[in-house]
Amino acid sequence: MAVLSSLDLAELRRDVAPNTNVNYPKATINAAFQAIEDWFEANRASLGSAIDTAAPGVFNAARKQILVKYWLEQKFERGG
């Protein structure tokens, strides 16, 4: 599991600040971002396997990353 750096966390806090009206303590939002990072890293391999099962041998790691990026963006634009 990757530990987010203080620079990563600061960037994430800056990015989320305009989209929330709650003033979260820095330690609380940092812990939430680290939990998201931990969950994603713990489940990355199974997501890659699921993509491989759906489309065997079609997508390499870089292409899977692109698919996941655009799916996440579209998912959350739908309110997901």
For the chain, the first-to-last Cα distance in angstroms comes to: 25
Q: Is 32 left (phi over 0), alpha (psi -120 to 50) or beta?
A: alpha
Over the stretch 3-53, which tens digit does the pLDDT of each residue have?
A: 999 999 999 999 888 877 777 899 999 999 999 999 999 999 999 999 999
The pTM assigned to this predicted structure is 0.78
The vertex-77 CA angle with 38 and 72, nearest 5°, equals 35
* CA atoms within a 13 Å half-sphere pointing along the CA-CB vector of 69: 6
The radius of gyration of the chain's CA atoms, rounded to the nearest angstrom, is 15
